[in-house]
Amino acid sequence: MLRIGMLTSGGDCQALNAAMRGVVKGIYSKRDDVEIYGFQDGYKGLIYANFSMLTAKDFSGILTRGGTILGTSRQPFKLMRLPDENGLDKVAAMKHTYHKLSLDCLVILGGNGTHKTANLLREEGLNVITLPKTIDNDLWGTEMTFGFQSAVDIATDTIDRIHTTATSHSRVFIIEVMGHKVGHVTLHAGVAGGADIILLPEIPYDIDVIADVIRKRSDAGKSFTILAVAEGAISKADAQLKKKEYKEKVQKRKYPSIAYELAEQIQEKTNKEVRITVPGHTQRGGSPCPYDRVFSTRVGAKAAELILNQEYGYMVAMRGGETVKVPLEEVAGKLKYVDPNCSLIREARMVGISFGDE
């Protein structure tokens, strides 16, 4: 009997169900003696032994379904070694659940924080396989994560729709895109949507440069300007602050987010009306796009192959268009940032897109 545990952790996104479907269908294509244990709400389900037995039928018809049939939650890695409010050792509890069910492998779908805990469990002796889930596409070791392209499509559609109203009004429009630490979604959606200015966490901006771009567009007869702004965008002045100082400043910020701070500054400097659109969690919701359905199916099938071959301790990644296995210890704790000197940035600058820095 092959016993597989499965959980989805961290923020939800499109194609989580599709990826789990790929794993299960891949395993059942080779073996019938399989038991699938689905843990509810991420690592919380593993800690408190909250699970249900699943069959192949439970994974039928979910290829196009967004969210996750298992539910998810955020369990910060830095708290994993700390007892819960009742004194429970969370790591010991997860190991106990794993061994009590006699699991052969634990399949974990998640992003950066999820992978740090997955690697911790590997170090504790559990057999683990992970799949790269995050709309941010910021996982080290893989060229792509599922959820990313779907989020880009939604953010791009938002920019497209803003364009039609922008042409009717002499205003500045700010679209705040998800991305606290990295700007992959904002960069791709900004280029795809024809944004005039793209602001990323990796490229600190100068508000005077932004104002100058807006004025030059106005002088050239272009009455509107569209900014695609990552929620983690940061000014050059703030980028000089120490991490602790910046956190304290953000906590005291009178604005609900960076878009509102920018809006006030732009209005003061250009005397232009500014409107803000925040697509928010719509970027994580809905049905996965065709690309993500294909991608998640492929990495799910690759995970099934590794499990059947008893190859554990890996994340399934995409490199050069091929699915590969990457050791978990090489992935955990590393973020894949936008390279300010990458070809996409250079090409975007060539077509006149400003990144607010020069």
Give the domain CATH number at 188: 3.40.50.460
**Beta-strand relationship, 2-8 and 34-39:** parallel
Same domain, 182 and 215: yes
- Please state, in angstroms and rounded to a whole number, the distance separating the CA atoms of residues 319 and 215: 43
Q: Is 244 exposed, middle or buried (0-12, 13-18, 19+ CB in 10 A)?
A: exposed
Q: Is residue 204 part of a domain?
A: yes
**Are 175 and 85 in a shared domain?**
no
Whether residues 82 and 161 fall in one domain: no
Question: Residue 14 sits in which domain range?
Answer: 2-146+288-331
Q: What does the DSSP 8-state code read for residue 161? A: H
Rounded Cα distance, 104 and 322, in Å = 26
Q: What is the DSSP letter of 125?
A: T
Active site residues: 136
Helix then strand then coil, in percent of the chain rounded to 5, is 40, 20, 40
Residue 337 lies inside a defined structural domain of this protein: no
Contact 31, 309 (CB under 8 A): no
Query: Is residue 242 domain-shared with residue 313, that is, in the same domain?
Result: no
Domain of 102: which CATH number?
A: 3.40.50.450
Q: How many domains does the chain have?
A: 2
Give yes or no: residues 118 and 229 share one domain.
no
126 and 238 share a domain? Answer: no
The Cα 228–Cα 232 span in angstroms is 12
- Same domain (yes/no): 45, 116: yes
pLDDT by 10s per residue, the chain, length 358? 999 999 999 989 999 999 999 999 999 999 999 999 999 999 999 999 999 999 999 999 999 999 999 999 988 999 999 999 999 999 999 999 999 999 999 999 999 999 999 999 999 999 999 999 999 999 999 999 999 999 999 999 999 999 988 888 889 999 999 999 999 999 999 999 999 999 999 999 999 999 999 999 999 999 899 999 999 999 999 889 888 888 888 888 888 899 999 999 999 999 999 999 999 999 999 999 999 999 999 999 999 999 999 999 999 999 999 999 999 999 998 999 999 999 999 999 999 999 999 9
Residues 15 and 118 in one domain: yes
**Residue 321 has what DSSP assignment?**
T
pTM: 0.95
Per-residue model confidence (pLDDT) at position 17 = 97
Q: Are residues 67 and 11 in the same domain?
A: yes
Looking at residue 100, its pLDDT comes to 97
- Answer whether 157's CB lies under 8 Å from 293's CB: no
What does the longest C-alpha to C-alpha distance in the chain come to?
Answer: 72
Does residue 69 lie in a domain region?
A: yes
Same domain, 88 and 216: no
Separation between Cα atoms, residue 77 and residue 177, nearest integer Å: 25
Return the structure tokens found at 213: 């771009």
Q: Whole-angstrom Cα distance, residue 153 to residue 189? A: 7
Tell me: do 8 and 61 sit in the same domain. Answer: yes
What local confidence, expressed as pLDDT, does residue 167 receive?
A: 82
CA distance 128 to 107: 6
Query: What's the pLDDT at 341?
Result: 97
